[in-house]
Amino acid sequence: MTLRLARTSAEAYLYMELHPCERCGESDFEPVSAVVSVQGDLASRYTGACPSCGNEREFMFRIPERPLLVDPENPQFGADRPSELLDPGEWLWVADTIASGVPANPDGLSAEQRRDARVDLRGAAAAVGEVLKFIPPDADAVPFEAFDSDRGREVYQTEPGRFRRARLEAVAQTYRELAERFAT
């Protein structure tokens, strides 16, 4: 059994959200986690019961020997290598989903709400950055073979032009600039 690498726990949680309960379809899941050793590799194991149907669920991921330290103000899902858990279409879906939950305007928000919005927008920029990691150095767009999930391929087929390097860089930059509008 080869476990796939979860570069950060944030990435592991995204993967679990994208893989709802196989029995009832519930995506809510609040597992307990433990670090275990699997064939000489460090792994993290997430276990818990599905809150809707009680199904006992478990996820295991290989984890890096040296964890990536992430600033809570500035979410990151992994270092330079592309994700083994989410494909580029899923990453763009994550970015869209995070960004669509952020209020359009900082007026009237509390300091905490502004902080959440700022961190979410930086997270959306980081998710777009994950898409960029799938583009080979000599290419200007994500290659189609990088998409290996149904959701990811659907996002791609809806608008393939979103996966061009220049467009992704512009979107990530826009999210970073928007995040600054929510500075306290």
User: Which residues sit opposite 38 in a β-bridge?
Assistant: 41
DSSP per residue, 82-94: PPSSS-HHHHHHH
- Nearest distance, CB of residue 184 and Zn ion, angstroms: 39
**Tokens in use for 109?**
């928000």
Length of the chain: 184
- Nearest distance, CB of residue 27 and Zn ion, angstroms: 9
Q: Indicate the residue among 4 and 23 with the shorter CB distance to Zn ion.
A: 23
Q: Indicate the residue among 29 and 147 with the shorter CB distance to Zn ion.
A: 29
Q: Quote the DSSP letter at residue 24.
A: T
Q: Indicate the residue among 23 and 181 with the shorter CB distance to Zn ion.
A: 23
Which of these, 37, 19, 39, lies nearest to 27 by C-alpha position?
19
Place of tokens 């509390």: 110
Binding residues (CB under 5 A) for Zn ion: these are 21, 23-24, 26, 50, 52-53, 55
- Nearest distance, CB of residue 57 and Zn ion, angstroms: 8
- Nearest distance, CB of residue 80 and Zn ion, angstroms: 36
Q: Indicate the residue among 24 and 79 with the shorter CB distance to Zn ion.
A: 24
